[in-house]
Amino acid sequence: MTKQRLVILGGGESGVGTALLGKAKGYDVFVSDKGKIKEKYKQVLIHNEIEWEDETHTEAKILNANIVMKSPGIPDKAPLVKQIRQKGVLVVSEIEFASKYTIATIVGITGSNGKTTTATLTHHLLKQELEVGLAGNIGDSFAKQILEKDYPNYVLEISSFQLDDIVGFKPQIAVITNITPDHLDRYDYKFENYIASKFRIAENQTKDDYLIYDADDEILTDWLKKHPVQSTLLPFSLVKTIENGAYLDKENIIITINNNQIIMPTSSLTLEGNHNIKNAMAASTVAHLLKIRKQTIRESLENFQGVEHRLEQVLKINKVQYINDSKATNVNATYYALESMDAPTVWIVGGVDKGNNYEELFPFVNEKVKAIICLGVDNEKLINAFGNMVDVIVETQFMSEAVKIAYKLAEAGDNVLLSPACASFDLFENYEDRGRQFKEAVRNL
């Protein structure tokens, strides 16, 4: 019998992880990357005798695939992907491919914002009492973990791009944190296409599975009315009373599942802001479902440190607090950041605009922002949006310069906030690189 041919487009973390799992499962594996494969990944492929190419796609070696796993960064519009689909070859994402090789309980977390914090917090709550892996958009790839450890439980942070290429993937517990316009460039600029993509996380669920979601998010509740799912619903809310799910009662989070109730004081949360109460509700609901003890949940909420590049307090210099929120790659994330500022703020913003509408930020900018530093190649839209609202608005293309300007503008008691509301690819490798450069520049002041 000839081996099934697995072709992998993209030689990054998910691509190389899938290659290793595919080889172990008896596939004939080929990895092809149009860009350069990082040296550390090349070494893994060479060491495992997996055939690969980079800086080109050899069509003859790709179109003869039985199955193609494409990296989430490659759009469906790419001519090569279109050709593969025209040939009737199945195109899947890493989570689809890998999930076939585990019987683990999967918690899948998606949303426009809050998914990294919620996934990291959920993993933190579960790992005290369960063996659990954290994968998806975080850390080691899901495929690689299944090959090397195969935990009985996984928390996966899942992007809409990964959900676009699922077939049978089904998490027993799905979480949708919220949906706001993001990545519309990949969805023909149609918001409903993006919403539908996020809801694919529940499309294979049955009544024995759970969907946890923000009941205060009209986009989610309206969509569910028009497109009911099979799953058992467990909503969470800051304003409504919820019978099955989680809600806020004064200073307490109350979580009820099948008449089994637990109460968590919000004072036990280390993370500040309403959005983090929601992230904690979602994570604690998962923990409650998976029978983690109430005491453990409370203690874990108390000692959770948060996520790097997400409202991360870097240093205080001359009574000015420097805050790294580089992970805010869309307007809604920056909304949460500005909402949580409790002092006059010098705001560093800008990058690759994904069709942003900055209007929802106007009230906060008027109220809290004293100066704006635009850090992007093209800042025209930002200057048009905010130019009349603040006394000082400056442009730069260097992080070190942005931080020096902020240092000059900020007075004792102020905040300096990097919360770009944009993607980072014009001046940086990724949002992590942007955040690290910010921290480095702050430490060099």
Q: Is 111 part of any known ligand binding site?
A: yes
Spatial contact of 158 and 201, defined as CB atoms under 8 Å apart: yes
Residue 197 annotated as binding?
Answer: no
The two beta strands, 105-110 and 153-157, are parallel
Distance between CA atoms of 266 and 101, rounded to whole angstroms? 39
- Residue 116 annotated as part of some ligand binding site: yes
228 Cβ neighbours under 8 A, 6+ residues apart: none
Are 122 and 109 in contact by the 8 Å Cβ rule? The answer is: yes
Q: Quick one: 304 exposed, middle or buried, by C-beta within 10 A (0-12, 13-18, 19+)?
A: buried
Enumerate the H helices of 12-156 as residue ranges: 13-24, 39-47, 59-62, 79-86, 94-99, 115-126, 142-148
How many Å apart are CA 201 and CA 176, to the nearest integer?
8
Q: What is the largest CA-CA distance in the chain?
A: 73
- Edge-to-edge, what's the strand order for the sheet holding 415-418? 312-317, 320-324, 415-418, 345-349, 369-375, 392-396
Residue 117, marked binder = yes
Paired sense of beta strands 245-249 and 252-257, if any: antiparallel
Q: How many CB atoms lie within 10 A of CB 361?
A: 25
CB contact set of 77 (below 8 Å; sequence gap of 6+): none
Closest CA to 214 of 279, 287, 258: 279
CB-count exposure of residue 407 (10 Å: 0-12, 13-18, 19+): middle
CA torsion, ordered 225, 229, 230, 233, to nearest 10 deg = -70
58 is in an annotated binding site: no
| 296 marked ligand binding residue | no
List, as one string, the DSSP characters of 218-237: HHHHHHHHHS--SSEEEEEE
Residue list, annotated binding site for ATP: 111-117
Residue list, annotated binding site: 111-117
